[in-house]
Amino acid sequence: MANIECIEFLVGTERGLREVLGAAEVEPLLRAAVAAGADRALVAADGETLWQWPESRGFAQVDSVVAAEALPLILEGEPVGEVRLEAQEPREALRALTQMAAAALNSAIHANLKRMLTTEIHTQVVNQSYEELLAANRELRASEARYRELAENLEVRVRERTAELERAWACVLRREKMAAVGQLAAGMAHEINNPLGFILSNLNTLQKYVGRYVDMLEFFQHRIGACLSADLQEAVRQKWRELRIDFVTDDIAALLPECIVGAERVKAIIADLRGFAHIDAQENAPVAIDQALERTLAVMAAEIPADARIARQLASLPELLGNGALLCQAFMNLIRNALQARPQGLELEISGEHQGTEIALRFRDNGPGIAKELRSKVFEPFFTTREVGQGVGLGLTVVHDAAAAFGGRVEVREAPGGGAEFVLFLPQRGGGHG
C-alpha cells in the first residue's frame, strides 16, 4: 500500500473499477501471472470476479487452493477491489507475483484516471468555451438586432423631429407675421383715426357753414338785388352766371355729404381692420363667428373680383372662446385659397351648423378641387402645388394650426358637384391657444 500513489483530487462522479480498467489491460497481466507460476489469477470487486485466468474456473468454486495472495486495487484513494493469485500448492514466488500484478494494475488505474480526468477537464473546457462562444454569438446577434432597431428608430425619430422643427418654424414665422401685421394695423389705425376724427368733425361743421353762406346768397339775391339799379343787377347776374353759383351751390350740397360718407367708410374700414387683427381683444375672449367672417371679407374687399359670389349662412351660431385674430386669419386663408383655385367665376358658399358638441364651418367652392392623394398633404408646412414664387405652402397650415388652437380640426373633401370643401370643426367651448 505504501508504494501506491494516491490520487489527490476527485473530479466528477464516483467511478467503478470496470470504468477505469479494461480487459485489454487486465487480461494480459493475469495470463502473465499464471505463466509465471500461479494456477489462477483474478481481479474482483464487491464480491464479483471481473476478470480471471484461466477463464473456465469460477473464483467461488475453487476448493483445492492451498496458497493465495491478494492485494487491494486503489481508485481515488479508496480500495475498490483486489488482485488475487492462487496456487494448488505452496509457492514462494506467489507473493512477489501478486505484488507485481497489484503494482501494475494500480499504475494502470492511476494512469487511466489521470487520462480520464485530463480528458474530462479538456472536454469541460472545450464545452465551456463552446458555450461561451455561443453566448457571445447570441449577445452579438442581440446587439446587432438592437443596433438595427436603433438605426431604424433613429431614422423615424429624425423624420419626426424634422417635421416638428418645420412645424415649429412655421408657427414662429406665422406668429411673427401676425404680430407684425397687428402692430402695423394698430399703428395705422391710430395714425388714421386722429386726423379722420377732426376731418369728419370739420366736414360736418363746414356743411353747416356752407348752408349759411348759401342762405345768405339767396337772401342777397332776392331781397337786396331788387334795390340795385338795372345796370348793377345785370352785372350781378352776369357775375353769378360767370361763377356758376347755381351749379356750385347744388354741387356743394352733394359733395359735402359724399365726403362725410367717404370719411365714415374709412372709419368703418379701420374698425374692420382693428376687429380683424383683434388688436384690443384678449387671448381667450368670446369671438362672434359671423362678425369675424364679415370683418375678414371687408378687409379682403380689394382682392375679391366683381364676378365672385360669396354666400354665407352663419346666423344663430354661438360665440367661440379663443383668439379671434387666428379665426379671422383662418377665414382669410380659406377664402384666398378658393380665389386662387378659381380666379374667375368663383362661387363660394360659407355655412355653419351644430354637430353634437362641435360647430362645423363649411367653405365649399366650385374650383377644380384637390386630388384625393394630395388631401393628406395640403396641411403640411411648405407643401404647395403652385409654381415657384406663387406660394410658400403655409396658408392651409395656418388654418390647421388655428383650428388646433381652438381645440378643433380641419378636413378637406370633394364638394358635391365638384370643387373642394374645407370643414372647420370647432368645439363650442373653444380650446387652448398655441
CA dihedral sign, ordered 15, 16, 22, 27:
positive
On the 0-12 / 13-18 / 19+ scale of CB atoms within 10 A, 347 is middle
Q: Which amino acid does the sequence have at 294? A: E
Give the global pTM: 0.47
Q: Which residue ranges in the chain fall short of pLDDT 50?
A: 1-10, 58-60, 430-434
- Specify the pLDDT at position 348: 94
- Specify the pLDDT at position 5: 44
- Specify the pLDDT at position 66: 76
- Specify the pLDDT at position 350: 94
Q: For residue 360, how many other CB atoms are within 10 A of its CB?
A: 16
- Specify the pLDDT at position 351: 93
Q: Given the C-alpha cell 359724399, which residue does it identify?
A: 258
- Specify the pLDDT at position 56: 65
Residues 17, 43: Cα–Cα separation, whole Å: 10
Residue pair 379/386 in contact (Cβ under 8 Å)? The answer is no
Q: Given the C-alpha cell 354637430, which residue does it identify?
A: 355
- Specify the pLDDT at position 311: 93
- Specify the pLDDT at position 43: 92
- Specify the pLDDT at position 278: 63
Long-range contacts of 373-378, Cβ-Cβ distance < 8 Å, separation of 24 or more? 375/412, 375/413, 378/412
Residues 107, 412: Cα–Cα separation, whole Å: 96
Antiparallel, parallel or unpaired: β 347-355 and 48-53: unpaired
Output b/e per residue, 222-242; b: 16+ Cβ within 10 A. eeeeeeeeeeeeeeeeeeeee
- Specify the pLDDT at position 3: 43
In degrees and rounded to multiples of 5, residue 21 shows phi and psi of -105, 155
- Specify the pLDDT at position 310: 93
Residues 81, 43: Cα–Cα separation, whole Å: 7
